[in-house]
Homo-oligomer: A and B are copies of this chain.
Amino acid sequence: MTARDPLHDAILTGDRRALARAITLVESTRPDHRERAAALLDALQAEGRQALRIGLSGTPGVGKSTFIEAFGTMLTAEGRRVAVLAVDPSSARTGGSILGDKTRMDRLARDPRAFIRPSPAASHLGGVARRSREAVALCEAAGFDVVLIETVGVGQSETLVAQIADLFVLLLAPAGGDELQGVKRGIMEIADLIMVNKADGDLKATANRTVADYAGALRLLRKRPGDPDGFPKALPVSALEASGLERAWEEMQALAGWRRETGHWDRTRADQAAHWFGEEVRAGLLARLTEDAAARARMAALAAEVASGARDARGAAAEMLESLRPA
């Protein structure tokens, strides 16, 4: 352990530049940065601050940016501090980000009670998710009341975000089945609240019908054990007209409150923390494996042999592990 990091107190006061620097620090792969990041996260964790962490998913075109802008602005107008982070596995490869163009959230980006940060750069999805969890933890330490964690709705990132968030909400367009909307299998399963956007103008009737369809399907297909009746719930919203947002926020708070009272909240947070500890240890062990170029090449060659059907997974793994034994 080092002495108290100067970023520590700056973050506690809610200094957004210090927060941004700390997020950059946890994303760094430099060994001295990694050590400093681990110590800082550890020390801030002990402060015990918590925000409401909301995972938000929805495919491009559904109006997610407009929703975040309207929803976030509503919360900041009520005096709440709101952080918006993105988990975007594609940005791991392209360096792009769904939040890259902050002009799409112009008002919120200039709001002193808001903080917007695009997806962390990392070489793979697991890394993106681990660093995103840490960015969320830093936002909590900086005193934000709500942290919105945005995903692009195209795959595995949602289940990883479910390991970070307290609630998971899904934004859909007024239309038929979610296949048409490009929502992947598994995302519907983790949603606590489905919001059908664009419930305004010509689309209002369609949006309300879509809400009824999903409400029916959700009732039939599942309920999370221990949750109050009526969840998961489907609601119409209009990000454009900023309508339905109060209701959506009330539902989120009701569910979060229930989970706090029943102890579900604490259990979930404890499970999530234990999960990420395991992930960090496993990732660290794998990193040692792949830090070495020869080991990396051997791993890839063996994986290809197994995928081609020429070898069995266990035999190939045994060979890999044998090659890693200290001589």
B39 touches A315 (CB 8 A): yes
A270 touches B308 (CB 8 A): yes
Contacting B at CB under 8 A, from A100-158, are: 130, 133-134, 137
List the B side residues contacting A41 at CB < 8 Å: 312, 314-315
The reply on A271 being an interface residue by CB < 8 A is yes
Looking at the assembled complex, report how far the CB atom of A25 sits from the nearest CB atom of chain B, in whole angstroms.
12
List the B side residues contacting A214 at CB < 8 Å: 220
A179 touches B223 (CB 8 A): yes
List the B side residues contacting A178 at CB < 8 Å: 220-222
The reply on A5 being an interface residue by CB < 8 A is no
Chain A contact residue count (CB 8 A cutoff): 74
The reply on A282 being an interface residue by CB < 8 A is yes
Looking at the assembled complex, report how far the CB atom of A126 sits from the nearest CB atom of chain B, in whole angstroms.
11
Report whether over half of chain A's contact residues are helix, strand or loop; otherwise say mixed: helix
Looking at the assembled complex, report how far the CB atom of A267 sits from the nearest CB atom of chain B, in whole angstroms.
10
B188 touches A186 (CB 8 A): no
Distance A284 CA – B288 CA, assembled complex (angstroms): 14
B310 touches A45 (CB 8 A): yes
- Of A14-22, A64-72, A247-255, A316-324, the segment with at least 4 beta carbons within 8 Å of chain B is A316-324
Can you tell how many copies of this chain the complex includes? 2
B269 touches A309 (CB 8 A): yes
List the B side residues contacting A219 at CB < 8 Å: 177
- Of A90-98, A200-208, A272-280, the segment with at least 4 beta carbons within 8 Å of chain B is A272-280
- Of A53-61, A78-86, A235-243, A298-306, the segment with at least 4 beta carbons within 8 Å of chain B is A298-306
B289 touches A277 (CB 8 A): no
CB-contact partner of A280 in B39, B176, B278, B317, under 8 A: B317
The reply on A213 being an interface residue by CB < 8 A is yes
B274 touches A314 (CB 8 A): no
The reply on A44 being an interface residue by CB < 8 A is yes
The reply on A293 being an interface residue by CB < 8 A is no
- Apart from A277-B302, A277-B316: 6 A-B pairs, beta carbons within 8 A: A34-B318, A48-B309, A270-B308, A274-B306, A279-B313, A284-B317
B285 touches A286 (CB 8 A): yes
CB-contact partner of A315 in B38, B286, B299, B312, under 8 A: B38
CB-contact partner of A222 in B35, B46, B177, B274, under 8 A: B177
Could you show 30 A-B contacts with beta carbons less than 8 Å apart?
A38-B312, A38-B315, A45-B311, A133-B313, A134-B314, A137-B312, A176-B220, A177-B219, A177-B220, A177-B222, A178-B220, A178-B222, A185-B189, A186-B189, A188-B189, A188-B221, A189-B189, A213-B220, A217-B220, A273-B309, A273-B313, A277-B306, A277-B317, A278-B303, A280-B313, A280-B314, A281-B289, A282-B286, A284-B317, A284-B318
